[in-house]
Structure 1
């Protein structure tokens, strides 16, 4: 049995991101949404995710930009965010153990909640105009 260690470097970030999005692409519930939106740009998306998580978890400022706008028009509901979070947490737990792994799950959960809230807000604002 392999002893799990914490997220330590960019290689660990890449392992987490690649493993997670491999599962997302195959998921019957959220996979079609991701695959339709991203299309053949998966390598570009993964590179962006490496930089995003490296910035958040390792304090290496390699990501700049605003992560929300590309998600604003996605056809997603709370159930989609719940599935994203379940896959993300399970992937993190199967690969890593430690404070940064816990931080990744916390940040992922906070981001999912914020994105869901903002998407709902913009939808309701559009309905009321």
Structure 2
């Protein structure tokens, strides 16, 4: 679906996840003024309040059973979410559910990382 929109690369297009991705997304979206933010899930639970405005819970894609958390998903006012993962799981479904709980229906896309044994 993401590749069909022209926003994200087709599965055969390698994308290096660095500042280059940010610039590439700006170019694809026709804007040099867009904001990007990088957020990572954590297994560390934090109490909500003060700087922590929202707390979303996710399952561990590695299957450990440990809960994972993402805080303040909407704090930078994104117009889309791109999940970059090593293991495909329920990330898109869980992210959409977390966003819905926070009152947002912005698009969610996923890029899967693969590593070459020769790298």
The TM-score range, normalised by the shorter chain, is 0.3 to 0.5
Query: TM-score normalized by structure 2?
Result: 0.36
Structure with bigger RCO (C-alpha 8 Å, 6+ apart): 1
Query: TM-score normalized by structure 1?
Result: 0.34
